[in-house]
Structure 1
Amino acid sequence: MCCLRQFLYPSEEGSYKLIRFLVERLSDSSEVGGKAGPEGVNDERKEKEGSSGSNLEDQTTGDKEPDLSRDKVRVKLDKLTLKSEVPEISVNDVRTSSTGRFNKDRQTNVFSGNHSTEKVQNQEQLLMEEVKAKTSELEEELELVKEAADMAFDVHHSIELHLEKLNELVDVRRHHLGELTSQWEAVRKPLEAKKESLQVSVYANNPYTQEKLRKLKDYELEKESILFKIRKREEELSKLSTDLEKQPKLASRKSYIERVKEITKNSPKQEADIEQILKDTRELQLESNSIQERLHRTYAVVDEMVFREAKKDAVGKQAYRLLTSIHKCFEQIREKILATDRIRREVGEHEKKLAAMASRSLNVDKLQADLDAIRRENQYLEKCLQDQ
């Protein structure tokens, strides 16, 4: 308890001793901070030992000389503090400033070096990719030029054969592209459905965003319909272009005019022939009707006579049976002759049509288009004549 009281409330002599001890420690630490190397360490150790010894001596002397004046101690304390503060501040400032500057310079140098290295590597990678792309393009162009030269200087095969092969390759690529498009559509639709469900779940609590999402869906549907129509029209255009290339060259307008003139010139003769054929047909029909009527009357008379005789004896009955069977057979023969004649006429007509189709390539759409063009041209000429 006594020691605690002396520590909390020291006497004047004890405070002077403590101040003197602290000042000497400060001076020793400042002198040790200016030294370096193993010699400095040894000197520091020696000075520590000396300082400890001096402190002990001071303590003993302080114990022996309690009547030391207050002014002397204060002057000595001021001198020691001035001597010790200046080197301590300078050494610590130099040390901290030099280490901080070195660390900052080192960090900046390392960062700038890494950044410049990454930049150079990226530029080198970009240049290598550009060179590879250019090289591949040039190689493809060289292969195409070689193939074109081989086709041009090929004596054994004609250019048309090579064109057919190229068209086949184009068709195969187009078919492959269509398959890839269908596969992409099969993958795209579930992804879009998932996207729409996620959008609906995200924007479910906001009516404004729901309205925007609905408008966006409408626009997307309209865009899809427009793209579908465009693709359909492009397919139709490609198909019509190929059909147009396959079609033979159209005849001149003069040839159509000559054909129309020839038809109009032969029309009176054809009408006369048609009238003659109709007249002959009517005469033959009248003759056939008269013969059939005579035959029916003759059959009715014979049938009545044989029927009367059949009532008298068995021979008459047998004759009547033979007459009816003959009548039926002749009726069947007549029907078969008429059917055969009709079939023969139809066969002749079909043979004529086949011969006409074989002699010239008949295209109904082409003929209809030509007829419409001729009609428009005639209307235009009539209008010009009326204006004149």
Structure 2
Amino acid sequence: MDEAQEILLNSLGSLGVSLPPGVSSVQDLNPGTLVSICAQSLHLIDDSLSFPTSLPDIMAERFKICAEIASAIKGVGYRGDISFNQFLYPSEEDSYKLVRFLVERLSEASEGGKNANKKIDGVIRSENNKLEVVLKDTVEKDDNPRLHLNQLIVTTGLNDLKLETEVVETTCPVDKEFSVNGPIDACLAPRDKAEKGAVGISGEGSLESSKEARCRRLEDVKELIEESGNLKGASYGVRESPANSYTVFEQNLAFLQEHSSKIQNQIKDLHSEGKMLLEELSSRVLESQCLQYEYNVLEAVVGMATDHEKPIDLYVEDLNKRIEAGRNDLVELGSQWDALNKPLEDKKRSLEESLHAQTPEVLDKLKKLKEVELQTQEIISEIQKREEEHSRLSAELKDQPKVASRKSYIQRISEITKNSRKQDADIERILQETRELQIESNSIQDRLHRTYAVVDETIFRDAKKDSVSRQAYRLLTSLHQSFEQISEKILATDRARREIAEHEAKLAAMASRSLDINRLQTDLDAIRRENEFLEQRLHNREM
């Protein structure tokens, strides 16, 4: 029984009910912990139900809160008898039934949440399918999708590389030593220059390694381009022999696709490394700017503190003037922004209207794409919340004490099921025997009634003529009445024994509840004192 109680309490904890420390079985539940568990469980079952998780000091408030919780539990489907005394003076049996009911209801509520999540997943899946259909329509407009996609991938990678080098060129000049090796070195030189400047902050060793890595990548790119050029020349030569042109073209196409994928991977690596270096450089620049600003502020403060010729009020007045000037500048900039933003908004609106008039399908697809992006953001935030909750529950699971293994639980459940089946078989056998005895008793009673009716009629007919028969008839009626009285007494005795057994079971249950008479007397005295205090206040108000 202790293991079953521990399983119930662990189930409550896993369903989101916080248990106080030191509670490992139902016997450890006192009125305060029982009220806290019930209040939390009712709030999880129904969000509209909200009760305090602790008992107040005033006895009247305690009775009121316990009565409200009892009625709420009755409202969510509890079939047993429940009132305030189950909370203020709990017994082990009543508390076990109540906790088991709460676990069942919380499990049903969690199943309902899972069904809602399945519906959300279905909506997300349908929106993803719609997006895939839109993208497929745009791709299928080309005659040769495979070559088109390969060309698009390579072109996109080169454009990204070009865009990245242009961004780097705006921040730092190109070193002359990289402009000798051809157009590829010229494109990659700004990236190496930026990386050189960023890595130089951390040390010369990392600079040398990064330069060597760049040189290796440049050599690989050169080799790939030379091989592709040679392959291109070879393909032109093969065109003169039409017999092998198709096979050679397929081989050349596979080779070009392989090399284009390699070039794309190297471009992506260079692009990502350049991004990392730019981010690190920008962060270092911002950090240096913040430090410089703090240094200037501290220098100004020190100058103000050491300047004895001017009072502090002049500096405060100067700062107030600067703040007011800054506010005026912000207001002016806001007005200028409004003046510039309004024609831009009108132009944007007119362009959207013209685009909608020319190609309404593109605008509809854009709206759908925006809706999908908004739903994606909501889903990502929901996933983040679920991940946080998962990490929290994982930490709580690690902190919880280790319980018995799943195999032991399965073994216990199988034993309980086996015993239950055995008890069901015994009950069925007893009911069958009782039914057979009842049928036999009814048949015997019917036979006795028929026999008595025949004998009574025979003796009564002879009793009119003979005095002996009359005496026999009196004895027969007296015997019949005596046996009826005996039968009634046996039934009454059996009924009394059953009532005695029921009363004994009730007495045993009352004895197991371990009611503390001193505690009851203390609560009664507190209620009397509160009543007297309330009566005194009422009397003072009337006077």
Pair in the same fold by TM > 0.5: no
Which structure is richer in relative contact order (CA contacts within 8 A, separation 6 or more)? 2
Larger radius of gyration: 1
Q: TM range, normalised to the smaller chain?
A: under 0.3
Higher helix share: 1
